Amino acid sequence: MSDKPIAHRSIMDIAAYMPGKSKSPSGQALAKLSANESPLGASPKAIEAYRNYATHLAEYPDGGATALREAIGAVHGLDPARIGVGAGSDEILHLLAQAYVGPGDETLMSQYGFLVYPIVTNAAGGTCVKAPEKDLKADVDALLDAVTEKTKIVFLANPNNPTGSYLGEDQIDRLHQGLRPDILLVLDAAYAEYVNAPDYEAGINLVNRADNVVMTRTFSKIGLANLRVGWFYGPAHILDVYNRLRGPFNVNGIAQAAATAAVQDEAFTAELKAHNSKMRDELVERLQSNRFKTYPSQCNFVLTEFGDEAGFTAADAFNLLMEKGLIVREMHSYGLPNCLRISIGTEAQMKLVIQTLQEMSDHG
């Protein structure tokens, strides 16, 4: 018998998620290009809705998030009855794992997929299996080869954080066709608003014709990261399970109000996408060199790989950027120690990134 409460072993096996840094070791505030936040801030209409909600702070929020679900449905052409909301898409991922995974079960993800997937799996008592990628891109054949009788959920970030790569609709369909009907396919489309690829589809079409697929989304990348609002679209039977598990008021009212205004402000979302596309494409083009490689991206960040030569490593680049007042994301926790993930920021910030890394590449 223990002399104190002991958590389940699977919980203690979790490697806690470490967010990107926002300050230098000395505590100096830096321009944060480490968290994939909106470089244009929040929608002005969302800010106005947030302020206007202040007179309702003593009231419980709408437990069904009715206005928000209806707004999402109207903008995306979806049935609000098949939309669920959560305190960020992280809560949705946690509750889906809790509902469908238990001790002895497995979930499956790609090698460099989002680090929250192992966390939610372990929290549910299961084991998360990683399928190898090809050229930092999810491999459908490898994922299918890794499926076992223990597999309960396949998590696929599409496009993927931290690599920025994606699978086209045909590849997603092929993945789904290779899965048993009792396996839940979770298409995590957190960065869907930023995708330009013509063969990409966030998952709506597949959800509409399948009983074992959900698409998750977030407001964090389009200006509301602080409010923690996520949503998903799925079959009615999965919504029923989710609503039994979630807290009765899991998304607060002020977040619902701001998110409702944000999803309706399609002009702001379009402006954000245009800015991101311009800066992202310029970053990828300008940072290519024989000393390091910047990968194409469909997200609001790029992944840059550095070499092992002293003076030209990822650590060297990280420190140089910090000296310029910019902080980016180190990739050790993802198993990519030679890489940095650089979030798209303002035009001035991107010019400084390009200048700093070009000077580093040209040195010597």
Domain ranges in the chain?
19-41+267-362, 44-264
Instruction: Give the whole-angstrom CA distance, residue 297 versus residue 283.
Output: 10
SS3 call for 9: helix
Per-residue burial over 130-164, b = 16 or more CB atoms within 10 Å of its CB, e = otherwise: bbebeebbbbbebbbebbeeebbbbbbbbbbbbbb
Q: CA nearest 212: which of 178, 231, 186?
A: 186
Name residues of the chain where pLDDT drops below 50: none
pTM, to two decimals? 0.92
The whole-number pLDDT of residue 171 equals: 98
Q: 19-41+267-362: which CATH architecture?
A: Alpha-Beta Complex (3.90)
The whole-number pLDDT of residue 288 equals: 81
CATH pick for 44-264 out of 1.25.40.10, 3.40.640.10, 3.40.50.620, 3.40.50.2300 = 3.40.640.10
The whole-number pLDDT of residue 359 equals: 87
- What are residue 291's phi and psi, to 5 degrees? -100, -30
The whole-number pLDDT of residue 14 equals: 60
The whole-number pLDDT of residue 8 equals: 65
Q: CA nearest 124: which of 149, 95, 84?
A: 95
